[in-house]
Amino acid sequence: MNWLEPILGLTLVLLAASLMFFFSLPQRSQGRGQRRARPRFAFRPIRAMQRLHRAIGLAVEDGSRLHLSIGKSSIIGPNNASALVGLSTLERIGMLSSLSDRPPVATTGDGTLALLSQDTLRAAYRIANVPDQYDPAQARLTGPTPFSYIAGTLPVIHDERISANILVGNFGPEVGLLIDASNREGAFSLAASDALAAQAVLYAAAAEPLIGEELFAVPAYLQSSAIHQASLRVQDVLRWLVILALIVGALLAFLGLL
């Protein structure tokens, strides 16, 4: 079976890439040719994301700060996809709130992620034509171990006039302490993790938890481009294919054919 796994993996990646290219085509030609206004939410509406858009707008208006915590997974570790999603979210939030008097602050629990989040914020401000707003202290490593990361992030939530806490990345169940701090400060909290234990905690504690693969849709919901819409459609198609494969496999096993 070992020889089959990489071939299946390669097939899945190629299938996903081809479908993403295919689904992004009509959107592009529509944009060039007819120039029709695209609806703001072409995606399935997620209440948490609608509230996040509102929270970003409110933070810019009332001069409060947004806090984005992007977890503790290493960029060279197996959970790095959630870290990359966190970085993409940070870039978009940096651009959306570039007009704010108080720029957003990012906290991480990993050194590489801290440097990348500084780099991402710098890129976001440069794209938004406000490079002077960039301050490296806005993106910090708050602690290199899971609990020191949480302990170092708590003062940021309490002391820096945060109106919304966005937790997107790899967290353990200790993320409950961050959500509790956010609730105590009366701040909005949106949280998503790729770890099952953290998802259970977030469902119980966070105002707006995102469950499962919704984590990976966050950058797409903040940056509605053709390729993002296509990638979410492909994710849906692949999910149905996996469900079908599971049902067929179970039936075959039940009938004794597998």
Partner 1 sequence: MRSPVAAAIAIGVGLVVLLGYFIPSIGDTSPALRDLLALRIYFIDWAVTLAAFATLVAILALVGTHWRKLRARRAPDRYSFFALAGFLGVFLFGIFAYTFSGNVNGFQIVVNSLQVPIEASLMAVLAVTLTLATMRLFQRRSGLLPLVFAGSVLVFLILNSGLLASVDIEPVRFLLPVLQTLPVAGGRGILLGIALGSIMAGLRILIGAERPYSG
H-type helices in the chain, by residue range?
Answer: 4-33, 47-62, 80-96, 111-127, 146-159, 175-184, 196-205, 218-222, 226-254
Q: Min. distance of Cβ 248 from partner 1 in angstroms?
A: 15
User: 63 vs 111, which CB is nearer to partner 1?
Assistant: 111
User: 49 vs 61, which CB is nearer to partner 1?
Assistant: 49
Q: Min. distance of Cβ 66 from partner 1 in angstroms?
A: 18
Question: Which amino acid would we find at residue 198?
Answer: A
Q: Which of 58, 54, 68, 57 is nearest to 165 (CA)?
A: 68
User: 61 vs 245, which CB is nearer to partner 1?
Assistant: 245
SS3 199: helix
Q: Min. distance of Cβ 96 from partner 1 in angstroms?
A: 15
156 φ, ψ to 5°?
Answer: -65, -45
Q: Min. distance of Cβ 257 from partner 1 in angstroms?
A: 22
User: 141 vs 187, which CB is nearer to partner 1?
Assistant: 141
User: 37 vs 137, which CB is nearer to partner 1?
Assistant: 137
Q: Min. distance of Cβ 91 from partner 1 in angstroms?
A: 6
Q: Give the number of other Cβ atoms within 10 Å of residue 50's Cβ.
A: 14
- Pull the structure tokens for residue 41: 């939410």
Instruction: Give the whole-angstrom CA distance, residue 30 versus residue 142.
Output: 45
